[in-house]
Amino acid sequence: MPELTISRRGLLAGSALLLASTALPAIGRAQAPKKGGRLIVAADSEPRNLNPAIVASNGVFFISSKVVETLAEASFDGKDGLEPRLALSWEGAADGLSVTFKLRDGVKWHDGKPFTSADVAFSALQVWKPLQNLGRTVFKDLVAVDTPDNLTAVFKFAKPTPFQLIRNALPALSSVVPKHVYENGKIEDNPANNAPVGTGPFKFAEYKAGQYYRLAKNADYWGMDEPYLDEIVYQVLPDRTSAAAALEAEEIQLAAFSAVPLADLDRISKVPGLKVVTKGYEGLTYQLVVEINHRRKELADLKVRQAIAHAIDEDFVVKTIFLGYAASATGPVPKNDPQFYTADVPTYPFDVAKANNLLDEAGYKRADDGKRFTLKLLPAPYFNETKQFGDYLRQALAAIGVDAEIVNNDSAAHIKAVYTDHAFDLAVGPPVFRGDPAISTTILVQSGIPDGVPFSNQGGYKNAELDALIAKASETLDTAARTELYREFQKKVAADLPLINVAEWSFISVARDTVGNIANNPRWAVSNWADTYLAR
């Protein structure tokens, strides 16, 4: 089981809670799972497209992953951190040109039709590669999927594609949708995008806009005795404070994705009948990043970037903003990643005097009013913590004579301002680490990305050496060599600071203690919940 690498306090809190309440398999067995019951879960948003094969995002998975399954799921103790779902095994060819999947037998779609390799081929070629937000990159060289029999699918690539990358992509990118439902008409307009049909433990039953989603038990599910629950209902609670109140009032039984504000956790953990669970998100690490616009002449100077890095007190960020439920960051790969992370990178300890010296050296002396220059700071509005960090960063910069003016946008305006118009000097962003740097991390550094691509390098940073490294790693087949290249990548990024990684955090669940088998895999909140149960 990979070590939990949230901060020390988070770690302690986490393990204490684990012992106390979380149903890890070993502990969970003390209480036999019960069958039946309705689990009511808080949902803070209503995704407009529920097809996880098109929209591979946590908001969609949170609901759809119970309906539409992937080929494999992340696992604490499986080989390569995976466990089988619709695929039983996966094997990459030595030349990197093909990957063979053996599929599970006896699986039925919710409409009773059998699941076959044709569905996998259809999903990969017609959906993941052309339509999926992440699949468009990972499967860009996929040219064909051979189906020698109903239970074998062979992915063929035009260029060598690292098997490690495909493997790491399976939990998030490989949702299989039924060919017979999607083959007629435009896939994007298919009504099943709003009422998904899959092979999962729960069938999509009902959606009332602004109120709830209801999933009902799939009696024909392939898992033995699963699912345990009769129903899962997602109650839409748009206001940030209502999830905690709803839990206390026993109107809901689970609030995932930190729907209960961090500052409220201490209090709510003392409420009888409720438990705070910090596990189950290890595969969903968010990174707190200061994005830098290198078009600003001051910020193009490495010394200034180093000064900013030294001005940020990562310890304060972890302790005060994240209340310990986070870890400080050293570079572009989070510490809790078992494959790629290296601690052997240049670091920037909190040192205001040094930061001031660096700025003096760079030639930006303080003016009479104590200010060196003024920056426009755009904190991403998606999380409380990104906004709070924006407020903190403004203060931290003030201490080194940099006057930051915060621009507060809503999500749409923020995306447009930062990634299309480049109307920022510094931005605070929360990119997601998806288990492999090639999926969503290198894009934050790589040059030559067209304007308007969100969560990518739009700061005008260009470093030929890093670009070459990224290109080389994307076609290196040997896992050890590829991993080594990404360690090199981390060192170079930490040295040249195209962006500043401040902290890494994950989410917290709060549940009634009758909810069993929660947090038993690293992507639990977005996994299929087949073994989740309610003890009554």
Footprint (CB under 8 A) of other proteins, residues 363-422: 379, 381-382, 384, 387-388, 390-392, 394-395, 398, 405-417, 420-421
Shortest CB 468 distance to other proteins, Å: 21
**Beta sheet of 212-217, edge-to-edge order:** 202-208, 212-217, 231-236, 38-43, 254-255, 509-512, 274-277
Q: Inter-axis angle of helices 302-311 and 352-361, to 10 degrees?
A: 160
Residues 282-321 within binding reach of other proteins (CB under 8 A): 320-321
Residue 206 binds to other proteins (criterion: CB under 8 A):
yes
Instruction: Please choose, out of 48-56, 146-154, 293-301, 494-502, the segment that lies near other proteins by the rule CB under 8 A.
Output: 48-56
Residue 188 in the binding site for other proteins (CB under 8 A):
yes
Q: Count other Cβ atoms within 10 Å, centred on residue 31.
A: 13
Question: Out of 112, 185, 208, 297, which residue is the one contacting other proteins (CB under 8 A)?
Answer: 208
DSSP 174-198: -B---HHHHSSS-GGG-GGGTS---
Near other proteins in 229-258, by CB under 8 A? 231, 233, 235-242, 244-246, 248-251
Residue 208 vs 297, nearer CB to other proteins: 208
CA dihedral 526, 528, 532, 534 (to 10 degrees): 90
Structure-block tokens of residue 403: 């006057």
Distance, in Å, from the CA atom of 357 to the CA atom of 400, rounded to the nearest integer, reads 9
Identified binder of other proteins from the candidate list 126, 133, 152, 447, rule CB under 8 A: 133
**Identity of the residue, 75 or 242, whose beta carbon is nearer to other proteins in the bound complex:** 242
| Calpha distance 137→207 (Å, rounded) | 32
Question: At CA 291, angle to CA 288 and CA 293, rounded to 5?
Answer: 170
Per rule CB under 8 A, is residue 273 in the interface with other proteins?
Answer: no
Q: Toward other proteins, which CB reaches closer, 2 or 460?
A: 460
Nearer to other proteins, 391 or 467 (CB): 391
Give the shortest CB-237-to-other proteins separation in angstroms: 5
Q: Is 141 in the site for other proteins (CB under 8 A)?
A: no
**Site residues for other proteins, window 443-462 (CB under 8 A)?**
449-455
3 Cβ contact list (under 8 Å, min separation 6): 336
**134 lies in the binding site for other proteins (CB under 8 A):** yes
How far apart CA 285 and CA 323 sit, in angstroms, is 17
390-393 long-range contacts (CB < 8 A, ≥24 apart) are 390/428, 392/316, 392/317, 392/320, 392/321, 393/290, 393/312, 393/426, 393/428
> Does residue number 192 form part of the binding site for other proteins (CB under 8 A)?
no
Tell me: does residue 350 bind other proteins (CB under 8 A). Answer: no
Taking CB under 8 A as the criterion, the residue among 24, 118, 131, 154 binding other proteins is: 131
Name the residue nearer to other proteins (CB basis): 51 or 520.
51
Closer to other proteins by CB, 172 or 515: give it. Answer: 172
Number of residues that bind other proteins (CB under 8 A): 86
Q: Please, what is the minimum distance in Å from the beta carbon of residue 133 to other proteins?
A: 4
Please tell me whether residue 27 binds other proteins under the rule CB under 8 A: no
Query: d(Cα 342, Cα 351) in Å, to the nearest integer?
Result: 23
Q: Is residue 179 close enough to count as binding other proteins by CB under 8 A? A: no
Q: Which residue has the tokens 């504000």?
A: 261
Quick check: 484 binds other proteins (CB under 8 A)? no
Query: Which position among 55, 292, 318, 397 is part of the footprint of other proteins (CB under 8 A)?
Result: 55
Task: State the minimum distance, in angstroms, from the CB of residue 433 to other proteins.
Answer: 13
Candidates 13-21, 53-61, 94-102, 477-485 — which segment interacts with other proteins by CB under 8 A?
53-61
The residue with tokens 């029999």 is 149
Instruction: For residues 443 and 421, give the distance between their C-alpha atoms in angstroms, rounded to a whole number.
Output: 18
Q: Collapsing DSSP states into helix, strand and coil, what is residue 231?
A: strand
CA distance 71 to 107: 12
